[in-house]
Amino acid sequence: MKKGLTLLLCALGGALVGILLFVFITRVIRTDNNNIPSVTLTETDSVSSGELADLAFQIADAIKANDFEKLAEHVHPEYGVVFSPYATVNLSSNQCFTSDEVKEFGSNSEQYVWGLTSDGGQLIQMGISDYFSRYVFNYDYTVAPLIGVNYIIRSGNSIENVGDTFPGAQFVDLCYPGTSGSENQDWSTLRLVFEEYGGRFMLSAIIHSEYTI
């Protein structure tokens, strides 16, 4: 009798934990991408998590398609968009492009210095195509398994300064959490930062984050 009661209490306890987790975690479903579920970990006051996540996926879709005209439509018309190869944003050394400049990315063959490598402090000097392959779309973020809305899912040794650099901004992390075979050190995040302008959320930064030494 006591054993049966104990099993019943354990089952009830497990069910309660499951209900609480379900309430805490909100799932966002992409109806245009095979209904792949992604976890959204926070809500914002001014716009819903789903709206921000959908906006982030629109941008990820444009990047994947090399549709720079579409990407340019989202760029902040006053500040432009900053590109940071690591989580620590440095406005004096990271590249910033206007909407008109982004439109021309497909035909732009110029070499730019985007910042410094995390392992040796060497200049990151690349053309736009190579930079996007390494520091923007190194994974297919249109099917990122985790989404953090104003929540940093994974963090390395780089200083997380998105809130200090863009006060009052919203951001979305599209994250690959890494694989157990590499002790999760192959995790990677595409972080999209938005600031409000004229009643719309416009793209102010594209930040790449990964494991750093």
Q: What is the DSSP track for 7-52?
A: HHHHHHHHHHHHHHHHHHPEEEE-TTTTT-EEEE----SSS-HHHH
Determine the pLDDT at residue 156: 86
Query: Which one, of 193, 203, 176, lies nearest residue 87 by Cα?
Result: 193
Determine the pLDDT at residue 46: 52
Determine the pLDDT at residue 47: 64
Cα dihedral sign for 144, 147, 148, 153? negative
Could you tell me the pLDDT band of residue 182, with boundaries at 50, 70 and 90? confident
Q: Which sequence spans correspond to the domains of the chain? A: 65-213
Q: Burial letters for 92-101: b for 16+ Cβ neighbours within 10 Å, e otherwise?
A: eebbebebeb
End-to-end CA distance of the chain: 56
Query: Which one, of 79, 72, 85, 101, lies nearest residue 136 by Cα?
Result: 85
- Asked if residue 85 lies in contact with residue 114, where contact means CB atoms within 8 angstroms, the answer is yes
Write the single-letter amino acid at 31.
T
Read off the DSSP letter of residue 189. Answer: E
User: Mean per-residue pLDDT for 89-99?
Assistant: 96
Beta strands in the chain (DSSP E): 26-29, 37-40, 81-84, 95-97, 111-116, 123-127, 146-149, 170-176, 188-197, 200-210
User: Mean per-residue pLDDT for 134-141?
Assistant: 97
Determine the pLDDT at residue 212: 86
Lowest mean pLDDT among 2-16, 113-127, 150-164, 180-194: 2-16
User: Mean per-residue pLDDT for 142-149?
Assistant: 96
What's the pTM? Answer: 0.80
- Average pLDDT taken over every residue of the chain: 83
Tokens coding 190: 């595409």
Query: Which one, of 34, 33, 30, 14, lies nearest residue 22 by Cα?
Result: 14
pLDDT tens track for 9-50: 444 454 443 433 333 333 343 334 333 334 444 444 456 789
Would you say residue 185 has pLDDT above 80?
yes
